Amino acid sequence: MRLRLVPQQTSFDFFKWRKVTFGASIVAMIASIAIWLIVGLNFGIDFLGGTTIRTESTQSVDVGAYRDALTPLGLGDVTITEVFDPTFEAGRNVAQVRIQAQDGAESVTPATIAAVEAALQGVDPSITFPSVESVGPKVSGELITTALLAVGASLVAILFYIWLRFEWQFSVGAIAALVHDVVLTIGIFSLLQIRFDLATIAAILTIIGYSINDTVVLFDRLRENLIKYKKTPLQEVMNLSTNETLSRTLMTSGTTLLALLALLVLGGDVIRGFVFAIFWGIIVGTYSSVYVAKNVVLMLGIDRDPKKPSDAGTQFADVDA
């Protein structure tokens, strides 16, 4: 027997609370933008420029002592954070020391890094430095620009594809859902102050790809049913299409989340931000495909004149994709 998370035939009314769900999405987006503007993002070294030194020790991390040891060096903004991870062995204490880019220099000099390491070893002789990462201010600025262009270009390409594949109303609905997913992801990163770096941008692009795939599956079934049930109200056809694809949606999202959950718990702190972004994105992406994309299409309406040919409302349905 095949595994089913839901019965083979369902009749859930996904639009019963459409004003509440759509309104909640708008409120969540506004709140995410407000948090982003007020709190800001915890940018990684990729976007800020500077140097990150990772430390390991058998002794407990004393952030205050570390800071006192580095203050005489006059390095400007220095951020020291202890890294917690359930996969760490007992007695393994990890911290990250982030030093801002120095004025007039592309990166922190080797002499400065050596001075930092010497100062920290004065506090804890057992401390080691397994990794040092440096990014210059010019490079970090270029990375920000490239990241924004990558996200923007992907949204424009998807907008064009959906318009060719379906109709402009579907395209607007799909882009609204993607913007919803991206904004909520940025909002949760700002709220929880999770490190935002190039890996997070890669995760956002992955979210966009996953979300649009889920939306296209729903839109494909909707397009088929629009041709099949020409006189049925649009809202009922949308409900029918969502119910028909519900099992596939839950199975795909559920199995993906299980794999991501394992990585989130056991993968370590190095990839945790990347995995969390995708984990969160799949949840909001599945939600937005049902409660944002189709709500927008319903509000915009579709021309379903029964006197038109059988492909009415799907003028580009014959385009290969």
Render pLDDT for 163-187 as a digit per residue (tens, 0 to 9): 777 778 888 888 888 899 999 999 9
Question: To which H or E segment does residue 253 belong?
Answer: helix 246-266
18-43+140-300 matches 50-135 in fold: no
Q: Looking at residue 312, what is its pLDDT?
A: 39
CA–CA gap between residue 73 and residue 121 (Å, rounded): 14
Instruction: Please determine, looking at this structure, whether the domain spanning 50-135 carries the CATH number 3.40.47.10.
Output: no
Q: Nearest-5° angle of CA 302, CA 305, CA 310?
A: 95
% of the chain beyond a pLDDT of 90: 10
Section 128-133 average pLDDT: 85
Neighbours of 10 (CB within 10 A): 12
How far, in Å, CA of 292 to CA of 299, rounded? 11
Which residue in 148, 278, 134, 264 sits closest to 208, CA to CA? 278
Residue 95 has pLDDT above 60, yes or no: yes
**Distance from C-alpha of 114 to C-alpha of 6, rounded to nearest angstrom:** 60
Whether residue 314 has pLDDT greater than 60? no
> DSSP letter at 98?
E
Whether the per-residue pLDDT at 162 is higher than 50: the answer is yes
pLDDT score, position 253: 86
Whole-number pLDDT of residue 310: 43
CA-based torsion, 264, 267, 271, 274: positive or negative:
negative
On the question of pLDDT at 321 being above 50, the answer is no
- Tell me the range of 133-147, 249-263, 294-308 where mean pLDDT is highest: 249-263
For position 7, what pLDDT does the model report? 64
Q: Which of 85, 51, 45 is nearest to 270 (CA)?
A: 85
pLDDT band at 115 (very low <50, low <70, confident <90, very high): confident
Give the pLDDT confidence of 43-82 residue by residue, as tens digits.
777 777 778 888 888 888 888 888 888 888 887 767 788 8
Helices (H) and strands (E) in the chain, counts: 11, 6
CATH of 18-43+140-300, one of 1.20.1640.10, 2.60.40.10, 3.40.50.1240, 3.30.479.30: 1.20.1640.10
* pTM score: 0.72
CB 272 within 8 A of CB 83: no
For the segment 197-244, what is each residue's pLDDT rounded down to a tens digit? 778 888 888 888 888 888 888 888 888 888 888 888 888 888 888 888
- DSSP lists the bridge partners of residue 128 as 56
Quote the pLDDT of residue 320.
42
pLDDT of residue 214: 85
The answer on pLDDT for 142 being more than 70 is yes
Q: Which of 44, 41, 46 minimizes the C-alpha distance to 139?
A: 46
Instruction: Kindly report which listed range (6-20, 94-108, 247-261) carries the lowest average pLDDT score.
Output: 94-108
pLDDT score of 29: 94
| The pLDDT of residue 106 is above 70 | no
Domain boundaries, the chain: 18-43+140-300, 50-135
pLDDT value of residue 81: 80
Query: How far is 309 from 289, CA to CA, in rounded Å?
Result: 28
**What confidence score (pLDDT) does residue 59 get?**
85
According to the model, what pLDDT value does residue 31 have? 95
If you average pLDDT over every residue of the chain, what do you get?
A: 80
Q: Which residues pair with 83 in a beta bridge?
A: 94
What average pLDDT score do residues 1-21 get?
Answer: 73
Beta strands in 136-262 (DSSP E): 195-196
Q: Quick check: helix, strand or coil at residue 197?
A: coil
pLDDT of 139 reads 60
For residues 28 and 265, the model is more confident at 28
Q: Are 197 and 46 in contact (CB under 8 A)?
A: yes
